[in-house]
Structure 1
Amino acid sequence: MQKGFFFGLSVVLLAGLAWYNQACTNSSAGSSNPDHIPERISYNFDIRPILSDKCLACHGPDANKREAGLRLDIAENAYAALKENPAAHALVPGRPELSEVYLRITSDDTATVMPPPSSNLKLTQREVRLIEAWIKQGAPYEKHWSFVAPRKPARPMVSQTNWPRNEIDYFILQKQEQKGLKPNEDADKEHLLRRLSLDLTGLPPTLEQMDRFLADASPRAYENMVDQLLKSPAYGEKMALHWLDLARYADSHGYQDDGYRTQWPWRDWVIHAFNKNMRYNDFVTWQLAGDLLPGSTKEQLLATGFNRNHKITEEGGVIPEEYRIMYVTDRNDLFGKGLLGVTLECAHCHDHKYDPFSQKEYYQLFAFFNNVNEVGIESVIGGPDTYAKKPLMEISNDDVKNILSFVNKRDTNRLIVSVMGDLDTTRKTHVLKRGAYDDPGEEVQPGTPSAILPFDPSYPKNRLGLAKWLFDSRNPLTARVYVNLLWQEFFGKGLVKTSGDFGMQGELPSHPQLLDWLAVDFMEHGWDIKRLVRQMVTSATYRQSAVVTPEKLATDPDNSLLARGPRYRIHAEFVRDLVLSSSGLLNPTVGGPSVKPYQPAGLWEGATSGRGLLSMYVQDHGPSLYRRGMYTLIKRTVPPPAMAIFDASNRDLCETKRLKTNTPLQALVMMNDPAVLEASRVLAARLLQERGDMPGKIGKAFRLIVSRKPTEQELGILHNYYENARKKLTKTGVDKALAVGEHPIPAGLDRTQLAALMRVVTTIYNLEETITKS
């Protein structure tokens, strides 16, 4: 009966440079006419996407697949005489009638037309016209857009001047108007508060916050709520989550034995850094090179745990140097993907096929991380000394009382954390032929990819110098990449959808001028993260209703133009947080060791070597059962199942973007997870202990969980469901329903009423709206 009701209820309840700026303004994406040809053609935004889709498979960077010796992604190759016909050229600037590219794509002869019919590819008439116009304009090539330092464009002109609330909105509205769209009106206050609270704290708003916000008619009511939430300790916890994914934080070493590790004090530091609004340049510099800063403090040393979160083997019989190289490789690849937003790892074995990074440059960057005083295998799995690997630091109770007060150390046990620390002498770095650890080639010195920014010789050739290079005002990627990551946090996807790949194979930015404006503005204001967050969430763009009309769905199905508010499933950890918070079970303690909540029996035991502290799953009890989702212990080889089903990372590697899926397994978790059922029982018991009638109690449950008042129809359906359940539940059914979870049942409650109301609460938790941000 309960499952059938879910379906019925759901039916009722759910219904750069001058050319760069000019190209962004005039490119083909900027007209409501799909056949429009912009006045000025941009290679990056108009031509290269065509070549990439239709031509570069045979005439691109892959020498093994290249046909006729012709390469079209490099200007000098495209302008040169053809290998098979020296009298002809693929491109003759200004002369499409002499350019073989144009002649071939317009040919009617199946023997010469390009792409060949056998490829099943064909250019549209508009694509042909774009290429013709580009050749007439001189067929100019451009440096890849993301490798050109951003410049702050002027605020664009818009027609609907009363809509923008800050600069973000002008760039968004300009694109909408070019496509003939209008933004949505603001979301109602209930939906807006819920969206804001989930985004800034990862928690639903409290009843007190809802009542106060709804009653506040002042013009600054929304901005005041933003400021209040930014000051909440939960803000640091919410913001830390995306960084834990990026930094591949976990509570085990990985590989087969997968022993326990104590890196959680580094996680406490990350939360602390976000809460005190540490500037992004310092936040990253401390993590990259805190140990190398002049007069380095113990807090700065703790921050470097960032680069010791990688997997570490504890298995006998391995080749130490092989695994040490793997650790350095992990750091190098994290630096590329997480901080630069490029796929440097593709150059580990050979020159990058698509981006201008050579294998030598990969190992020059590798050299910055190759001097850590570590070994491939330090010990076998066992006692406390294996919880962290050298180099390490010990955190004493005295440290916690004084300089590391943010570390939630609750006992007197020895607490050690893996950190960074270099050798006294420089370890030589070589290009590894084919990426093999035991096949060194040319020796290299620390350096950076010149296509991004050559390394300044005035910087020290160590990780501190690398941090200085990263935050050099001329670096084209650092600010863009982090701005994009935060945009992704609040709008569901980045302005560059491929947030870990700003290179040739990545997506073009949907709003390149906005991305550059935000990046430059971020740098100009001292890399202030809270200011950037506030800019985004106070914009009119963010405040829009998520309602979608058929017209907007047809014109912009992916909401790339942001003519409506975001709507997507919240992260796995926040699903748990919402359930615990709304039921009153949430333990709000910030920081501390990871915990082991309810989990199906036998998972660890069935996938373990049988050695070490994590060979068997020993569930926690008491307050530890009700910690936020971000504190759930992550064993890499067997990640928390409820989290994994909701697309959480297992933290094997740097992850800049989570998948968003919708599977029946997620519904099964919400209907059967002991945490959800226990929360339903506890909330039902709380409500039964309060005064008032049953519709009022159900309405309060709905507000606590969904963050809005139910309609009369919704309330009527839920109340009828309660009455039917109360009448039909047997003693056996009641006892079985209430037996879930460890939290005690208050004495004196009518158990049948409790079981019936528990069913109602569970149903509300299972609404799609409950775990969706909209």
Structure 2
Amino acid sequence: MCRSLFWTCIPLLFSFPAFADTAGTEFFEQKIRPVLVKHCYECHSVESKSVKGGLLVDSAAGLLNGGDSGPSLVAGQPDESVLIEALRYETYEMPPSGKLPEDVIKDFEKWVSMGAPDPRTDPVKGSVGSEEIDFETARQFWAFQPPESHVVPTVQDAEWPRSWIDSFVLSKLEANDLQPMPDAERSSLIRRIAYDLTGLPPSLDDLEALEEETGQNSVERFVDRLLASQQYAEHWARHWLDVARYADSNGADFNATFHNAWRYRNYVIDTFHEDRPFDEFVREQIAGDFLDANNMEETSRNLIATGFLMVGTKMLSERDKEKLRMDVVDEQINSIGKVFLGMTVGCARCHDHKFDPIPTSDYYALAGILRSTQTLDGEIQKYVSNWTRQPLPMTEEHEQSLAEYNARVQQLEKEIKAAEAKLTQLEDSSTRSAILEQGILKDDSEAKLIGNWKSSTYSKHFIGKGYIHDDKQDLGSKKVIFEVNVPEDGEYEVRLAFPGSGGRASNVPVVIDHADGSTTISVDQTKRAKLLTMLQPLGRFPIRTDQPFVVTISNTGTNGYVIVDALQVVNVNELTEDNTQAVDENLAKIEAQRKHVDQLKARLKRVKDDAPPPAPVALAVREAEDQGDYSICIRGEPRNLGRKVPRGFLTVATYNSAPEIPAGQSGRLSLAEWLADPQNPLTARVYVNRVWQHLIGHGLVRSVDNFGHLGERPSHPDLLDQLAVEFIQHNWSTKWLIREIVLSRTYQQTSEHDDSRWKVDPENRLLRRMNRKPLSAEQIRDTMLQATGSLDDSQTESPVAALGTLVSQNNPNDAKVQLASSNTRAIYQPVIRNELSSLMRVFDFADPDFVTGRRAETTVPTQSLWMMNSPMIADRSQIIGQQIADLTELNSEEKVQTLYRRILGRPATSQEAEVAIQFVSSFEQPSDDETDSETNSTTEPELQPNAEDWADLAHAIIASSTFRMLD
């Protein structure tokens, strides 16, 4: 059997439906509509005194149809769109008051490239006040009514439900003359549970134990064991980090490094591991700095939790600081609205929400709270804002050791500064002049250059205006040639000037053509030159006036940078004892002082190497100095203020009396209490719906981040209500909720297709079967490491500690960010905005710029190509192949089963085993001891697959849809 045929036996293209999310609509509402309202509506809306150019931009149809110049945009083709040309000032100049910033134009180009998604179906009618919204009527919408408990429905097939969840599901199915699918095979169920709960396949021990045990009790024990594991917390924390828009860098215009974001990441992991109540989790992230704490650990945890408000991307180089402040507030409002409420509150920044009962006054009621909160503080560099960092509590011992350490460092730095000043004084004395004035001194500017030499002044101690170096390029083709004419025949000392340091070549060839012939010397430029740290004597040579004296420095065969500063030629008659004694004495003093400086620096290095842990700080907010209510920004413009509105919350989602905002506080604590109130109709519903989605594959409300009028309606509203009510009654416990769903028969159905059921319910909204789900990018990576026994299960700290203030310098010549790789789980790997790894990009990792309650699920050829060609997959396959080949005590069939268990987390089926054995057997070669040419045996030797064969089989399994899909 040929290998190409085997690859066709395992499908490489994944066949699950693409996920149609609302990212386009959200992008329009955040980036496009506010600009249109602010800059275009005055002349191009139904309320304009006269519509300029016949163009209306206050509806999707008007913008698409265009005006007197024809259609204004071509969906998917920004370069063909008149609108983009006008914004670029290439044809028309819109707006005429001045060209929009480049980042805004880029947003429009991206929007058109996305297909110009635009939810507006009617012309905009201008901003309405809250008095025009009938909130009592608005509260009749399902999402704005507090969840109520419902009677568990009676079903015809009373034997099928395993829990109250199943009764709600079966009731819907029976009402549509449908029956649920049978239970999943045990091996598929175990694999499903392991991945859904921990993001990893079941261990070999779990597989063995669960194959021997039967019944639901063993499954329950398996679920409980996984829920108690650290792997569970890490996997489910990643779900939360998706909605929390977590990253280790800022992205945007100034990709600054978030060195302390890891504390928030680990806080989330610890919260899931401890199963702390979700309502507490909400309060801590919004107002942890206000909450009571019983000890230092709780104080730290509460401060770190407010990193939720910090980790969003920010346009740090915005010079209009008031605009930046309100842009940050907007990002926070938009995130809070989607994460906790499932509402697009940010759409009300410039005008009343067009679809949901959220007036602009409610938006600025929230804005007053967050504007009274300090998120940005100071500057990283001129015009570039910095963010707040909060000190975390320390033990007395830690404080004392830091104080002692800082005192030692300050004292040594003071001594080094004084010693360096004395050294500079010695070097700048008459000794320097006396040495440089000796003989003939030729600067590099007087030399003949062959090849491209680069000028520099980076290193200290150079002669003239600078020095030159070869840039470690074009070895063997670069030369510097000095020609010297001496006034009289004699013996001369030749000195080469260069600033020595690390990175320099240790084998620079210098050819000296003198009166007695030619001498080649190898110069070690990694060491400091003997005289003044820049002039290195090369020896003494005879020189005559009637023939040229030439010194040639080249980069032939060099192992580092070649540096050339100057050449000095001194008649030895000038170097008599009387003439050199004072110079030598001063040089000795200089060298002694230099050694003293080096010793002090070495002491400082030893002290720093033994430094205690630095004072811990967290990426966390604090109260702003100027607090209070804020005014409505007309059309979202912070320089155009309207009436002031009191701080508060969403009117439509407020029942009973809203929490009061005490004087002298921003209001964040009251906001946190309102969000976590059991009477809030949205918070619990939104969360249990997300949990349901992660386990079942789709939410009961499929638009998990939008419970508003543009979102989808719940397929099982009573079940959603009951889940929310039970969740609250069970102390907001995530582990209880997950356990309840996973142990239901609804979850444990097979995912197999049934044509008759499909015709009635093609989208599986009635939950007639289990949904197939693709493994995430993180699950692919971590499975590969676990399969080879390489997965490091330790919890780590900052993955970007080695980076400076900026991830990169934001210029076209920047190389890709290089970070040390590790085998810890994917959640501990760096998330660099704008520079995600190819694995993350190809396999639909959540965009950290946005709240992502549901990741896209795409089926594209690049995924199959990546699996086939990725060096990581090839490397892991080779390791697995060698490990399987080394199991010499097993036969081929046993090896196949071991391989499948490691990679897929389940045994191979009989058909899979048969195909796999045929594959590896087709390339078997006899071993050395079986090919003895002296044997006359006619018996055919038993053939054994080699490591390469098993590696190819492993790679094929990994690249298959069987691996990628969770049945």
TM-score by length of 2: 0.59
Does residue 708 (structure 1) correspond to residue 708 (structure 2)? The answer is no
Judge conservation of contact 1:645–1:666 (CA < 8 Å) in 2: yes
Cα contact 2:289–2:306 (8 A) shared by 1: yes
Deviation of 1:303 (Å):
1.0
**Contact preservation (8 Å) 1:359, 1:431:** yes
Among 596, 600, 620, which residue is 2:820 paired with? 620
Q: Corresponding residue for 2:460?
A: none
Q: Secondary structure at the match of 1:297?
A: helix
Q: Say yes or no: does 1:171 pair with 2:168.
A: yes
Q: Aligned partners of 2:892 and 2:616: how far apart in 1?
A: 50
Q: 2: CA distance between counterparts of 1:254 and 1:346?
A: 23
C-alpha displacement of 1:616: 4.0
- 2:516 maps to which residue? none
1:595 CA displacement: 7.2
Q: State the match for 2:735 in structure 1.
A: 530
1:459 is displaced (CA, Å) by 3.1
User: 1:340 — aligned with what?
Assistant: 341
Instruction: Report deviation, 1:219.
Output: 4.4
Q: Does 1:609 align with 2:802?
A: no
Q: What pairs with 1:86-165 in structure 2 (closer than 5 Å)? A: 143-165=140-162
Aligned to 2:948: 755
Q: Determine if the alignment matches structure 1 residue 181 to structure 2 residue 178.
A: yes
- Write the distance in 1 (CA, Å) between the matches of 2:330 and 2:13: 53
Q: Is this contact kept in 1: 2:333–2:366, CA < 8 A?
A: yes
Q: Does 1:635 align with 2:832?
A: yes
- Is the 8 Å Cα contact of residues 584 and 683 (structure 1) preserved in structure 2? no
Distance 1:148 1:400, change over 3 A: farther
Cα shift at 1:413: 5.5
Cα 1:595–1:627 shift into 2, 3 Å:
farther
Q: Which of the residues 270, 273, 293 maps onto 1:272?
A: 270
| Counterpart for residue 858 of structure 2 | 661
Letter in 1 for 2:308: F
**1:500: how far off?**
0.8
Q: Name the aligned partner's letter for residue 196 of structure 1.
A: I
* C-alpha contact 2:303 2:618 (8 A) present in aligned 1: no
> What is the deviation of 1:142?
7.7
Question: Is the CA contact (8 Å cut-off) linking 1:256 and 1:637 kept in structure 2?
Answer: no
How many residues are treated as equivalent by the alignment?
610
How far apart, in 2, do the equivalents of 1:397 and 1:642 lie? Answer: 42
Q: Deviations over 1:175-194 (max 9, x none)?
A: 00011111111111111110
CA contact (8 A) 2:365 2:629 kept: no
- Compute the RMSD of aligned alpha carbons: 3.3
Deviations along 1:694-734, one digit per CA (max 9) or x if unpaired, are 33212211121122221333222222222334569xxxxxx
Look up the SS of the partner of 1:541 in the other structure.
Answer: coil
* Identity among equivalent pairs (%): 30
Q: Does 1:479 align with 2:684?
A: yes
2:756 counterpart residue number = 551
Looking at structure 2, the residues matched to 693 and 198 of structure 1 have their Cα atoms a distance apart, in angstroms, of 29
2: CA distance between counterparts of 1:767 and 1:440? 58
Q: Give the equivalent residue in structure 1 for 2:359.
A: 358
Measure the CA separation in 2 of the matches of 1:533 and 1:278.
14
Say if 1:553 and 1:595 are closer, same or farther in 2 by CA, change over 3 A.
Answer: farther
1:688-767 paired onto structure 2 within 5 Å:
688-690=885-887, 691-726=889-924, 753-767=946-960
C-alpha distance in 2 between matches for 1:618 and 1:471: 41
Instruction: Give yes or no for the alignment of 1:251 onto 2:218.
Output: no
Instruction: Say which SS state the counterpart of residue 442 (structure 1) adopts.
Output: strand
Higher helix share: 1
Instruction: State the distance in 2 between where 1:559 and 1:714 align.
Output: 29
User: Any conservation in 2 of the 1:255–1:312 contact (CA below 8 Å)?
Assistant: yes
Whether the aligned pair in 1 keeps the contact of 2:329 and 2:371 (CA below 8 Å) is: yes
C-alpha deviation, 1:227, in angstroms: 0.5
CA distance in 1, matches of 2:359, 2:161: 44
Partner SS for 2:152: coil
Flag the structure with higher strand content. 2
Aligned match for 2:642, one of 430, 441, 451: 441
AA aligned to 1:332 is: I
Change in CA separation of 1:442 and 1:586 when aligned onto 2, cut-off 3 Å: same
Q: Is the 8 A contact 1:246 1:338 kept in 2?
A: yes
For residues 284-337 of structure 1, what are the alpha-carbon distances to aligned partners after superposition, in whole Å with 9 as ceiling and x for unaligned?
11111000113571211111111111113443x632222221111111111111
Q: Deviations over 1:592-616 (max 9, x none)?
A: 233799xxxxxx98x94379xx964
Indicate conservation of the 8 Å contact 2:138/2:652, yes or no. Answer: no
CA gap 1:255/1:160 in 2 versus in 1, 3 angstroms: same
2:869 corresponds, among 664, 668, 672, to: 672
Higher relative contact order (CA 8 A, sep 6+): 2
* Residue matched to 1:5: 6
What are the equivalent positions in structure 2 for 1:257-336 lying under 5 Å apart?
257-262=254-259, 263-295=261-293, 297-315=299-317, 318-336=319-337
CA contact (8 A) 2:678 2:684 kept: no
Answer yes or no: is the 8 Å Cα contact 1:9–1:717 preserved in 2: no
Deviation of 1:666 after TM superposition, in Å, equals: 0.9
**TM-score, scaled relative to structure 1:** 0.74
- Aligned partners of 2:14 and 2:842: how far apart in 1? 25
Q: Secondary structure at the match of 2:652?
A: coil
- Structure 1 residue corresponding to 2:622, chosen from 410, 421, 437: 421
- Paired with 2:656 and 2:874, the residues of 1 have a C-alpha distance of 56
Read off the aligned partner of 2:193 and give its amino acid letter: L
Q: Deviations over 1:36-84 (max 9, x none)?
A: xxxxxxxxxxxxxxxxxxxxxxxxxxx969xxxxxxxxxxxxxxxxxxx
Contact 1:368–1:446 (CA under 8 A) maintained in structure 2: yes
Q: Is the 8 A contact 1:596 1:620 kept in 2?
A: no
1:357-436 equivalence runs, <5 A: 357-375=358-376, 378-380=379-381, 389-394=387-392, 412=613, 416-436=617-637
Kindly provide the amino acid, as one letter, of the partner of residue 764 in structure 2.
Answer: N
User: Does 2:715 correspond to 1:510?
Assistant: yes
Note the 1:12-23 alignment, pairs <5 A. none
Give the deviation of 1:267 after TM superposition.
0.4
Q: Matches of 2:713 and 2:874 in 1, distance apart?
A: 44
Label 1:142 to 1:362 Cα distance change in 2 as closer, same or farther (>3 A): closer
Q: Tell me, in whole angstroms, the C-alpha distance in 1 between the residues paired with 2:897 and 2:761.
A: 36
Alignment deviations for residues 78-127 of structure 1 (CA, whole Å, 9 cap, x no partner) = xxxxxxxxxxxxxxxxxxxxxxxxxxxxxxxxxxxxxxxxxxx9xxxxxx
SS at match of 1:441: strand
Counterpart AA for 2:364: Y
- Unaligned stretches of 5+ in structure 2? 17-44, 48-120, 122-136, 400-610, 927-942
**TM-superposition CA deviations, 1:402-451 (whole Å, max 9, x none):** xxxxxxxx994665331021124415522111112322222222111211
Residue 768 of structure 1 corresponds to 961
- Contact (CA 8 Å) 1:320, 1:376: kept in 2 or not? no
Which of 1 and 2 has greater Rg?
Answer: 2
| 1:451 aligned residue | 652
Q: Residues 319 and 376 of structure 1 are in contact (CA less than 8 Å); yes or no, is this contact kept in structure 2?
A: no
Pairwise CA distance, 1:591 = 3.8
State the partner residue of 1:228: 225
Q: Classify the secondary structure of the residue corresponding to 2:618.
A: strand
DSSP 3-state at the match of 1:323: helix
Q: Distance in 2 between matches of 1:475 and 1:694?
A: 60
**Cα distance in structure 2, aligned partners of 1:207 and 1:144:** 50
The answer to whether the Cα contact below 8 Å between 1:202 and 1:234 also exists between their aligned partners in 2 is yes
- Aligned partners of 2:231, 2:248: CA distance in 1, in Å? 21
Native 8 Å contact 1:595 1:620 kept in 2: no
Paired amino acid for 1:148: Q
Task: Name the residue aligned to 2:797.
Answer: 592
Report the AA paired with residue 194 of structure 1. R
CA distance in 2, matches of 1:226, 1:423: 46
Say whether the 8 Å CA contact 2:376–2:387 is kept in structure 1.
no
Partner-residue secondary structure (3-state), 1:379: strand
